Structure 1
Amino acid sequence: MAFDVDLFVIGGGSGGVRAARIAASEGGARVALAEESRMGGTCVIRGCVPKKLMVFASAFPGAIEDARAYGWDAQAGDFDWPAFRTRLHAELSRLEGVYRTNLERAGVRIHDARATVVDPHTVRLDDGTEVTAAHILVATGGRPFIPEPWAELRARGLPVLVSDDIFDLAALPKSILIVGGGYIACEFACILAGLGVEVTQIYRGAQILRGFDEEARGHLAEALHDQGIALHVGTDIVTLDPAGDALRAKTTDGRERDFAAVLFATGRLPNTEGLGLTEAGVQLGRRGEVVVDEWSQTAVPSIYAIGDVTDRIALTPVAIREGHAFADTVFRGEARKADHELVASAVFTRPELGSVGLSEEAAREQEPIEVYATSFRAMHSAFAGRSDRVMMKLIVAQESRRVLGCHIIADGAGEMIQLAAIAIKMGATKEDFDRTVAVHPTMAEELVTLRAPVRRS
Structure 2
Amino acid sequence: MSQGFARTQTVAVLGGGPGGYEAALAAAQLGAEVTLIERAGVGGAAVMTDVVPSKSLIATADAAVAIAAASDLGVQLFARNDAGTPLRPEIAINLAAVNHRILALAAQQSEDMRQQLVDEGVRIISGHGRLDGPHALVASTGEGGVDFDRIEAGTIVVAVGASPRELDSARPDGERILTWTQLYDMKALPEHLIVVGSGVTGAEFASAYMNLGAQVTLVSSRDRVLPGEDGDAAEVLEKVFARGGMTVLSKARAESVTRTGDEVVVALADGRTVTGSHCLLAVGSIPNTAGIGLEEAGVRLTPSGHIPVNRVARTEIPSVYAAGDCTTFVPLASVASMQGRTAVFHALGDTAIPPERGRIAANIFTAPEIATVGLQERDLESSGLAGYAHKLPLAANPRAKMIGVSEGFVKLFALEGSGTVVGGVIVAPRASELIYPVAIAVERRLTVDQVSRVFAVYPSLTGSITDATRAMHRVHGG
CA deviations on 1:280-318 (whole Å, 9 max, x unpaired) are 110001221111222222122221111111130111121
Query: CA separation in 1, counterparts of 2:26 and 2:238?
Result: 42
Select which of 35, 40, 45 maps to 1:42: 45
Give the direction of change, closer, same or farther, for the CA distance of 1:254–1:374 in structure 2 (3 Å limit).
farther
Give the direction of change, closer, same or farther, for the CA distance of 1:257–1:233 in structure 2 (3 Å limit).
closer
Q: 2:161 matched to 1:141? A: yes
Please say which of residues 370-379 and 306-315 is displaced more in the overlay.
370-379
Residue 248 of structure 1 aligns with an amino acid whose one-letter code is V
Residue 343 of structure 1 aligns with an amino acid whose one-letter code is I
Give the direction of change, closer, same or farther, for the CA distance of 1:176–1:135 in structure 2 (3 Å limit).
same
Select which of 167, 183, 204 maps to 2:200: 183
Query: CA separation in 2, counterparts of 1:385 and 1:12?
Result: 41
3-state secondary structure, aligned to 2:132 = strand
- 1:336 matched to which residue of 2? 352
Q: 2:298 matched to 1:294? A: no
Displacement of 1:229 in angstroms is 1.7
Displacement of 1:437 in angstroms is 4.4
Residue 41 of structure 2 aligns with an amino acid whose one-letter code is R
Select which of 58, 72, 91 maps to 1:77: 91
Residue 183 of structure 2 aligns with an amino acid whose one-letter code is I
Displacement of 1:405 in angstroms is 1.6
- 2:144 matched to which residue of 1? none
3-state secondary structure, aligned to 2:137 = strand
Displacement of 1:381 in angstroms is 6.7
CA RMSD of aligned residues (A): 2.4
- 1:96 matched to which residue of 2? 110
Instruction: Calculate the TM-score normalised by the size of structure 2.
Output: 0.87
CA deviations on 1:222-262 (whole Å, 9 max, x unpaired) are 22222222112211113433333111123245542311111
How many corresponding residue pairs?
A: 447
3-state secondary structure, aligned to 1:231 = strand
Query: CA separation in 2, counterparts of 1:299 and 1:390?
Result: 44
Gaps of 5+ in 2: 1-7, 78-88, 141-146
Give the direction of change, closer, same or farther, for the CA distance of 1:417–1:384 in structure 2 (3 Å limit).
closer
- 2:464 matched to which residue of 1? 446
Displacement of 1:158 in angstroms is 6.0
Select which of 249, 255, 258 maps to 2:266: 249
3-state secondary structure, aligned to 1:449 = helix
Residue 91 of structure 2 aligns with an amino acid whose one-letter code is G
Q: 2:329 matched to 1:309? A: no
**What does 1:144-183 correspond to in 2, within 5 Å?**
144-151=164-171, 154=172, 159-183=176-200
CA contact (8 A) 2:169 2:257 kept: no
Query: CA separation in 2, counterparts of 1:452 and 1:379?
Result: 17
Give the direction of change, closer, same or farther, for the CA distance of 1:30–1:87 in structure 2 (3 Å limit).
same
Residue 62 of structure 1 aligns with an amino acid whose one-letter code is V
Please say which of residues 64-73 and 277-286 is displaced more in the overlay.
64-73
**What does 1:197-276 correspond to in 2, within 5 Å?**
197-276=214-293
- 2:212 matched to which residue of 1? 195
Give the direction of change, closer, same or farther, for the CA distance of 1:384–1:37 in structure 2 (3 Å limit).
closer
CA contact (8 A) 1:307 1:318 kept: yes
Q: 2:58 matched to 1:31? A: no
Q: 2:414 matched to 1:396? A: yes
3-state secondary structure, aligned to 1:111 = strand
- 2:4 matched to which residue of 1? none
Select which of 425, 430, 433 maps to 2:451: 433
Residue 119 of structure 1 aligns with an amino acid whose one-letter code is G
Residue 21 of structure 1 aligns with an amino acid whose one-letter code is L
Select which of 21, 45, 56 maps to 2:59: 56
CA deviations on 1:30-55 (whole Å, 9 max, x unpaired) are 21111111211122112222222111
CA contact (8 A) 2:68 2:91 kept: no
CA contact (8 A) 1:13 1:140 kept: yes
Query: CA separation in 1, counterparts of 2:167 and 2:175?
Result: 15
Query: CA separation in 2, counterparts of 1:376 and 1:20?
Result: 42
CA contact (8 A) 2:13 2:159 kept: yes
3-state secondary structure, aligned to 2:286 = strand
3-state secondary structure, aligned to 1:307 = coil
- 1:21 matched to which residue of 2? 25
CA contact (8 A) 1:5 1:32 kept: no
- 1:280 matched to which residue of 2? 297
Residue 89 of structure 1 aligns with an amino acid whose one-letter code is L
Instruction: Calculate the TM-score normalised by the size of structure 1.
Output: 0.91
- 1:66 matched to which residue of 2? 69
Residue 111 of structure 1 aligns with an amino acid whose one-letter code is I
Displacement of 1:382 in angstroms is 5.3
3-state secondary structure, aligned to 1:178 = strand
Give the direction of change, closer, same or farther, for the CA distance of 1:239–1:329 in structure 2 (3 Å limit).
closer
Select which of 389, 398, 404 maps to 1:371: 389
CA contact (8 A) 2:230 2:377 kept: yes
3-state secondary structure, aligned to 2:24 = helix
> Percent of aligned pairs with the same residue?
29
Gaps of 5+ in 1: none
CA deviations on 1:73-118 (whole Å, 9 max, x unpaired) are 3244311111222222222221111111111111111111000112
Query: CA separation in 2, counterparts of 1:381 and 1:64?
Result: 17
CA contact (8 A) 1:61 1:76 kept: no
CA contact (8 A) 2:451 2:466 kept: yes
Query: CA separation in 1, counterparts of 2:269 and 2:368?
Result: 29
CA contact (8 A) 1:214 1:361 kept: no
CA deviations on 1:115-147 (whole Å, 9 max, x unpaired) are 011211222222233222222210111111122
